[in-house]
Amino acid sequence: MQRASFLLSVPKCTMLPEDVGREVAFAGRSNSGKSSSLNVLCGQKNLARTSRTPGRTQHLVVFGLAPSRRLVDLPGFGYAKVSKTLRSHWEKELPEYLERRASLAGLFLVMDCRHPFKPQEEVLTNWCANCGVPMHILINKIDKLGKSQRARVLSEVSQRIKDLGTDNISAQLFSAAKHIGSEEAWAVLADWFSDEPK
């Protein structure tokens, strides 16, 4: 992960690198901390660009880890102020990426712990449950919560997953700001990127 380096940034799935090997994508609402989480897990401060202003990541941004192993930082969804044209572009492009990308080994869904499971997050989670694409939820920004609130949000999210009756979705508490939860997340990535058959 520490050797991750920027490969390319593209507005369309058709411009992505060849669809071989394995890829893990970071998805979630705008401003949930996708780019920050990716940086923390790669141990590099400024690998993916982050910002206080939602709508920062506007392309599919691809980072290479090793030959045929990639991370993809996806544009966030749910940000009303992004132009209508850009929003409708991503509403088409994101499903295209999720449905067509054969090398997609799994999705990291980065959620803000203060309001988990907004409608689009629900849609994405249901989609993964139905298609069997592995999903790992980072319940991010837990530095904003006290101990009992952390436990409550984890149990709420775990219950939602249980209700879906699937075993390809998992969740954990995380804080990109305070570097909490990296070991658990690395273990998931190591599993998804391993050479074992999918």
Binding site for ligand GTP (CB under 6 A): 28, 30-36, 50-52, 54-57, 75-76, 140-141, 143-144, 175-177
Give burial (CB, 10 Å; 0-12/13-18/19+) of 67: exposed
Nearer to ligand GTP, 76 or 116 (CB): 76
Q: Is 30 in the site for Mg ion (CB under 5 A)?
A: no
Partner interacting with residue 36 (select from Mg ion, ligand GTP, none; CB below 5-8 Å by kind): ligand GTP
Partner interacting with residue 33 (select from ligand GTP, Mg ion, none; CB below 5-8 Å by kind): ligand GTP
Phi and psi of 192, rounded to 5°? -65, -30
Kindly state the helix (H) or strand (E) to which residue 106 belongs, with its residue range. strand 104-112
Tell how many helices (H) and how many strands (E) occur in the chain. 5, 7
Please check whether residue 17 is in contact with residue 70, taking contact to mean a CB–CB distance below 8 angstroms: yes
Kindly state the helix (H) or strand (E) to which residue 157 belongs, with its residue range. helix 147-164
Q: Is 35 in the site for Mg ion (CB under 5 A)?
A: yes
CA dist 136 → 50, 103, 177 (Å): 21, 17, 19
**Which x/- pattern, by CB under 5 A, does the window 37-56 give for Mg ion?**
-------------------x
Nearer to ligand GTP, 31 or 172 (CB): 31
Give the number of other CB atoms < 10 A from CB of residue 110: 28
Q: Which of 32, 57, 172, 175 binds Mg ion (CB under 5 A)?
A: 57
Give the whole-angstrom CA distance, residue 108 versus residue 38: 10
Partner interacting with residue 172 (select from ligand GTP, Mg ion, none; CB below 5-8 Å by kind): none
Q: Is 36 in the site for Mg ion (CB under 5 A)?
A: no
Nearer to Mg ion, 44 or 166 (CB): 44
- For binding to Mg ion (CB under 5 A), which residues are involved? 34-35, 56-57
